[in-house]
């Protein structure tokens, strides 16, 4: 399989990164194999959360000696400031004393967390602050958070089945200069039937891709407001396959429309990580 060692870069680094929801948990060996493949294929952005079981610990161990090359985007997922601070202390131990992108997961207690996170950013232990949410009904509040001017990153779902962010969130992020991380770029874990689409030779040729997964990642990256897509996987070979979508070749608007037509023959994604 062709490996992409030099990937297109946008504001957060190489445009294809790796998510860790429901993939690593406490399996250090699996995490190491997937992360090694991801790094070898040029990925540098790694997303996690205290919500993902032991994934942060596994990711930290897997990055180990190569931590300085990477952008760790993790999250605070806590109803109280005390619990959030405990999560942050653990992250400092997992990730070499700093977090590159600290996101408030699903906006949980974001107004309460913001002051201490800003102080940590001032102290240099956090580089960028972000907010995330997976559901359209929370996008209004995500916009409200972005309008405070305190966040440099937003993480949102974006794939041919979930395009609600195109209405207000993506335009606002562009207006404010906020970087965009795309969760669920291949349709979200739990949506297996959507990912199993087999492309025939003519469609592969028309799209300039080898697989449907690659087509979905290229679809999201064709939007210039997107900085990085973070597909999760338990398979090293798939991390390499996904990295190919970051080679800088952009889908034309006709190719993008074809991806949307193909996607419409499948269902809607589910899952909330
Ligand atoms: N609220 C939030 O902040 C939030 C919510 C959701 C997600 N996230 C973040 O975003 C990341 C990505 O979202 P997600 O994990 O929900 O969904 P996703 O990345 O769209 O889908 C992951 C699933 O797709 C499969 N897959 C990966 N690459 C593939 C390809 N090229 N072709 C076919 N199947 C492929 C994986 O299975 P295999 O293991 O078999 O490859 C895995 O089951 C998460 O891991 C997490 O880090 C954040």
The boundaries of the domain holding residue 130 are 9-263
In-domain check, residue 268? no
In-domain check, residue 269? no
Q: What is the pLDDT of residues 40-98, one digit of tens each?
A: 999 999 999 999 999 999 999 999 899 999 999 999 999 999 999 999 999 999 999 99
Q: What is the pLDDT of residues 166-211, one digit of tens each?
A: 999 999 999 999 999 999 999 987 767 788 889 999 999 999 999 9
Protein residue with its CA nearest to atom 29 in ligand 1: 213
Residue 58 sits in a domain of what CATH number? 3.20.20.100
Q: What is the pLDDT of residues 139-153, one digit of tens each?
A: 999 999 999 999 999
In-domain check, residue 78? yes
Ligand 1 atom nearest 132 alpha carbon: 3
Enter the pTM of the model: 0.96
Centre a 10 Å sphere on the Cβ of residue 36 and count the other Cβ atoms it contains. Answer: 15
Structural domain count, the chain: 1
Task: Pick from 183, 229, 262 the residue to mutate for probing ligand 1's pocket: most ligand atoms within 8 Å of its CB.
Answer: 183
Verify whether ligand 1 is closer than 6 Å to residue 58 (CB atom).
no
In-domain check, residue 271? no
Verify whether ligand 1 is closer than 6 Å to residue 70 (CB atom).
no
In-domain check, residue 272? no
Residue 20: which residues within 8 A CB-CB, separation 6 or more? 31, 46, 47, 48, 49, 52, 55, 56, 58, 59, 232
In-domain check, residue 202? yes
């Amino acid at each position: 399989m062709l490996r992409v060692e030099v990937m297109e870069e946008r504001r957060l680094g190489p445009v294809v990164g790796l998510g860790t929801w429901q993939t690593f948990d406490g399996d250090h060996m699996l995490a190491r194999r997937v992360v090694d493949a991801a790094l070898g294929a040029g990925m540098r952005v790694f997303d996690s959360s205290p919500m993902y079981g032991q994934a942060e610990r596994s990711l930290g161990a897997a990055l180990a000696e190569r931590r300085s090359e990477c952008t760790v985007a993790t999250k605070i997922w806590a109803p109280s400031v005390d619990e959030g601070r405990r999560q942050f202390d653990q992250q400092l131990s997992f990730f070499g004393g700093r977090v590159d992108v600290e996101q408030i997961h699903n906006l949980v207690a974001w107004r309460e967390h913001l002051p201490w996170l800003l102080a940590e950013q001032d102290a240099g232990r956090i580089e960028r602050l972000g907010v995330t949410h997976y559901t359209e009904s929370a996008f209004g509040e995500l916009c409200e958070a972005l309008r405070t001017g305190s966040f440099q990153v937003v993480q949102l779902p974006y794939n041919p089945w979930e395009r609600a962010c195109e209405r207000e969130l993506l335009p606002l992020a562009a207006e404010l200069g906020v970087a965009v991380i795309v969760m669920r770029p291949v349709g979200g874990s739990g949506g297996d039937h959507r990912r199993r689409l087999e492309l025939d030779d003519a469609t592969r040729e028309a799209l300039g891709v080898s697989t449907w997964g690659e087509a979905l990642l290229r679809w999201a990256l064709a939007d210039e407001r997107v900085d990085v897509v973070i597909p999760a996987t338990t398979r090293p070979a798939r991390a390499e396959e996904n990295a190919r979508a970051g080679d800088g070749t952009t889908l034309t608007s006709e190719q993008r429309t074809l991806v949307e037509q193909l996607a419409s023959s499948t269902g809607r994604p589910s899952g909330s990580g």
